[in-house]
């Protein structure tokens, strides 16, 4: 059979493409009808999971790859390398496969298993790097990717954070699509900020097309630096800017033009997650975590608007890649996030009472010396050790590096950093978790157990308190 390229057969029906490269973009806008409650403005979600690689990042991937071919940086037989939390890698792997390139993707270990499996299924080589490394550390994502590029002949580093072709792709596609789809009626554009490519490219286009009418609102995890947070870790993947306490200079991506943003809404993970569950059940849309963050910001924005106004919000990817996280009651419960379904039996939260009244447990900063830690651990059965932070406060569970007990420190030299002598992290149970399930999960563990609420450690109790179903009697708090 002879394959006739579509451009050779004259007029081709809309939606028919020569390759996956051409099938990126032109995603639908779908109106939100139920989670908007009594909001009067129209809110449309742009469903970017309908791109062939499954996310908004297909646009940046295509833009960067085609630009590299055009400039000669990427040549036939070459290797595409990227450091990514997953989606850019998927877009690059899909387009690289179709165009005959090898692809290597470096991801942080917090990336969901589904995403890693998807990358491998697309033929990409996946390198997993440990999380919680400062940007200048040799094991940091970007350092690993750059090292691979040096080692492999013909390798090209996509570098989405600083590649002008990333925002340019959104200026050329996302922005014009939204303008056209709304017939120029869009008044507010809302998007999360990872590399900043989406909000910059589409935001700048929409401002220009509307003569400055369109307001651009960034959606940012509560603790992310972009919105003014302290940079502590959060749980919604792929948006926001984390700041490792040992990072010397906090450099923001060149793909993000700060000036385009009129306002940033700071969204706690729990608000994003609760909304994700509602959107799945009430709108029939299964979306990823950063869509929850973005739509929460869109709803906050729309609440203040009148019926003539039109909000468009980007939903970057699908919930299918996060079934083991934001849609898993086991994952949600252990961290104390809202579950997907209402719980009728007693929960860990019922046992500990009002979390605002709890005294956060002592968490040792990773920078202490063994001698200092010994003083603090004395008289306890063990304490968690978390990433060093200047500003203290309840530790985020993901920041906990391990634990110490008097026994683990017994033979350690006084001057050593405590982080060199850690035992495994203490088990944790979440406030939203059914008590019975939590007790089963920790099994025959005895000694201290951390209680989590919305991803943070809020208390330390003795395991026996959980099985006895009462904290007061055992004085565990
Ligand atoms: C799921 C998801 N949401 C949001 C973003 C942020 O988009 P951008 O990098 O264009 O700012 C990304 C980027 O990787 C993503 O993968």
Q: Ligand 1, residue 86: give the atom nearest the CA.
A: 16
What confidence category does residue 474 fall into, taking pLDDT thresholds of 50, 70 and 90? very low
Residue with tokens 């590299």: 68
| Residue 354: exposure state from Cβ atoms within 10 A (0-12, 13-18, ≥19) | exposed
Measured in angstroms, how far is the CA atom of residue 397 from the centroid of ligand 1? Answer: 23
| Interatomic CA distance for residues 161 and 150, integer angstroms | 19
Tens of pLDDT, residues 302-319: 999 999 999 999 999 999
Q: Tell me, in angstroms, the distance from the centre of ligand 1 to residue 240's CA.
A: 9
Three-point CA angle 48, 54, 55, nearest 5°? 45
Helices (H), 321-431: 329-335, 348-352, 370-377, 406-409
Q: Quick one: average pLDDT of 187-205?
A: 98
Query: Helices (DSSP H) in 45-99: which residue ranges?
Result: 57-71, 87-99
Which residues are bridge partners to 220 per DSSP? 266
pLDDT confidence of residue 436: 93
Q: What is the pLDDT of residue 444?
A: 86
For residue 150, which phi and psi values (nearest 5 degrees)?
-65, -40
Residue having the nearest C-alpha atom to atom 12 of ligand 1:
238
Range of weakest confidence among 128-137, 217-226, 265-274, 301-310: 128-137
Share of the chain above pLDDT 70, in %: 95
Domain residue spans in the chain? 21-54+169-322, 60-157, 345-468
66 and 198 in contact (C-beta within 8 Å)? no
Kindly list the protein residues whose Cβ atom lies closer than 6 A to any atom of ligand 1.
55, 57, 85, 87-88, 192-199, 238-239, 288, 290, 316-317
State whether CATH 3.30.390.30 applies to domain 345-468: no
User: Whole-structure pTM over 0.85, yes or no?
Assistant: yes
**Residue from 48, 56, 216 to probe ligand 1 pocket by mutation (most atoms less than 8 Å from CB):** 56
228 CA → ligand 1 middle, Å: 19
Q: Whose Cα sits closest to atom 14 in ligand 1?
A: 238
Locate the ligand 1 atom nearest the alpha carbon of residue 198 and give its number.
10
- As a residue count, the chain comes to 477
Residue closest via CA to ligand 1's atom 6 equals: 194
Would 21-54+169-322 and 60-157 be classified into the same CATH topology? Answer: yes
84: helix, strand or coil: coil
Ligand 1 mutation pick, 54, 89, 290, 320, max ligand atoms within 8 A of CB: 290
Q: Which atom of ligand 1 is nearest to the CA of 167?
A: 10
CA distances from 178 to 149, 187, 200, 304 (A): 36, 11, 14, 22
Contact (CB, 8 A) for 303 and 271: no
Q: Which CATH number fits domain 21-54+169-322: 3.30.1490.20, 3.40.50.1100, 1.10.580.10, 3.40.630.30?
A: 3.40.50.1100
CA distances for 469 relative to 52, 229, 282, 342, 429, angstroms? 50, 37, 35, 20, 13
How many Å apart are CA 365 and CA 384, to the nearest integer?
9
How many Å apart are CA 25 and CA 29, to the nearest integer?
12
Residues in a beta bridge with 57: none
**Distance from the alpha carbon of residue 112 to the mean position of ligand 1, in angstroms:** 15
pLDDT bin (cut points 50, 70, 90) of residue 473 is very low
Positions annotated as catalytic residues are 57
pLDDT for 391 beyond 60: no
Which pLDDT tens digit goes with each residue over 43-83?
A: 999 999 999 999 999 999 999 999 999 999 999 999 999 99
Cβ-based neighbours of 41, under 8 Å, separated by 6 or more: 188, 302, 305, 306, 307, 308, 309, 310, 311
CA-CA-CA-CA dihedral for 278, 279, 283, 284, to nearest 10: -100
* Mean pLDDT of all residues in 360-384: 88
199 touches 191 (CB < 8 A):
yes
| Average pLDDT value for residue range 182-206 | 98
Closest ligand 1 atom, residue 290 Cα: 3
The highest-confidence range among 275-279, 374-378, 470-474, by mean pLDDT, is 275-279
60-157 maps to CATH 3.40.50.1100: yes
The mean pLDDT of 291-311, rounded to a whole number, is 98
The span from the CA of 238 to the CA of 260, in Å, is: 20
Tell me what the mean pLDDT of segment 208-232 comes to: 97
Q: Which of 116, 169, 194 should be mutated for ligand 1, with most atoms under 8 A from CB?
A: 194
Distance 133 CA to ligand 1 centre (A): 20
What three-state secondary structure class fits 322?
Answer: helix
Nearest-angstrom CA–CA distance, 385 and 417: 11
Give the closest residue (by CA) to ligand 1 atom 15. Answer: 238
Distance CA 452, CA 391 (A): 19
Give the burial string for 223-260 (b: 16+ CB within 10 Å, else e): bbbbbebebbbbbbbbbbbbbbbebeeeeebbbbbeeb
Q: Which atom of ligand 1 is nearest to the CA of 60?
A: 10
pLDDT higher than 60, residue 4: no
Distance (Å, whole) CA 308 – CA 427: 51
At 240-290, the pLDDT tens digits run 999 888 888 889 999 999 999 999 999 999 999 999 999 999 999 999 999
84 CA closest ligand 1 atom index = 14
**Choice from 49, 62, 198 to test ligand 1 binding pocket (greatest atom count within 8 A of CB):** 198
How close is the Cα of 88 to the center of ligand 1, in Å?
Answer: 8
pLDDT for the residue numbered 360? 80
Q: What is the structure's pLDDT at 389?
A: 65
Whole-number Å distance, alpha carbon 453 to ligand 1 midpoint, is 26
Confidence of residue 115 (pLDDT cuts 50, 70, 90): confident
Could you tell me the distance, in angstroms and rounded to a whole number, from the CA of residue 117 to the centre of ligand 1? Answer: 19
Residue 55's nearest CA partner among 27, 31, 32 is: 27
Q: Is the pLDDT of residue 300 over 70?
A: yes
């Amino acid at each position: 059979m002879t394959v006739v390229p579509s451009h050779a057969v004259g007029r081709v029906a809309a939606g028919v493409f020569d390759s996956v490269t051409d099938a990126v973009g032109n995603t639908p806008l779908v109106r939100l009808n139920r989670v908007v409650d009594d909001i009067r403005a129209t809110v449309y979600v742009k469903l970017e999971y309908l791109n062939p690689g499954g996310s908004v990042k297909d646009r940046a991937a295509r833009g960067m790859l085609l630009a590299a071919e055009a400039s000669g940086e990427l040549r036939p037989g070459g290797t595409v390398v990227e450091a990514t939390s997953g989606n850019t890698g998927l877009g690059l792997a899909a387009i690289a496969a179709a165009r005959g390139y090898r692809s290597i993707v470096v991801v942080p270990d917090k990336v969901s298993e589904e995403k890693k499996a998807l990358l491998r299924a697309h033929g990409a080589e996946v390198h997993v790097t440990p999380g919680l490394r400062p940007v200048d550390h040799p094991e940091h994502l970007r350092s690993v990717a750059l090292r691979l590029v040096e080692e492999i002949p013909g390798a090209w580093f996509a570098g989405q954070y600083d590649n002008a072709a990333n925002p340019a792709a959104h200026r050329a596609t996302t922005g014009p699509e939204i303008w056209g789809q709304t017939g120029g009626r869009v008044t507010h554009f809302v998007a999360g900020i990872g590399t900043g490519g989406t909000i910059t490219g589409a935001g700048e286009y929409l401002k220009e097309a509307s003569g400055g009418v369109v307001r651009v609102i960034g959606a940012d995890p509560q603790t992310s630096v972009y919105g003014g947070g302290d940079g502590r870790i959060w749980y919604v993947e792929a948006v926001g800017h984390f700041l490792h306490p040992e990072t010397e200079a906090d450099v923001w991506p060149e793909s993000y033009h700060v000036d385009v943003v009129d306002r940033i809404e700071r969204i706690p993970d729990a608000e994003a997650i609760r909304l994700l569950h509602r959107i799945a059940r009430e709108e029939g849309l299964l979306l990823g975590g950063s869509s929850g963050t973005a739509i929460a910001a869109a709803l906050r924005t729309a609440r203040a608007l009148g019926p003539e106004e039109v909000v468009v919000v980007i939903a970057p990817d699908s919930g299918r890649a996060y079934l083991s996280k934001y849609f898993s009651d086991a994952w949600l419960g252990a961290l104390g996030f809202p579950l997907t379904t209402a719980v009728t039996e007693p929960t860990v939260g019922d046992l500990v009472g009002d979390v605002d009244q709890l005294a956060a447990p002592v968490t040792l900063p990773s920078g202490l010396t063994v001698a200092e830690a010994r003083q603090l651990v004395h008289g306890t059965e063990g304490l968690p050790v978390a990433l060093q932070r200047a500003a203290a406060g309840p530790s985020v569970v993901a920041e906990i590096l391990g634990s110490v007990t008097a026994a683990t420190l017994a033979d350690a030299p006084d001057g050593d950093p405590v982080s060199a002598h850690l035992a495994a992290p203490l088990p944790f149970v979440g406030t939203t978790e059914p008590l019975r399930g939590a007790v089963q999960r920790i099994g025959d563990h005895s000694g201290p157990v951390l209680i989590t609420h919305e991803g943070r450690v809020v208390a330390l109790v003795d395991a026996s308190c959980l099985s006895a179903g009462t904290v007061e009697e055992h004085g565990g708090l």
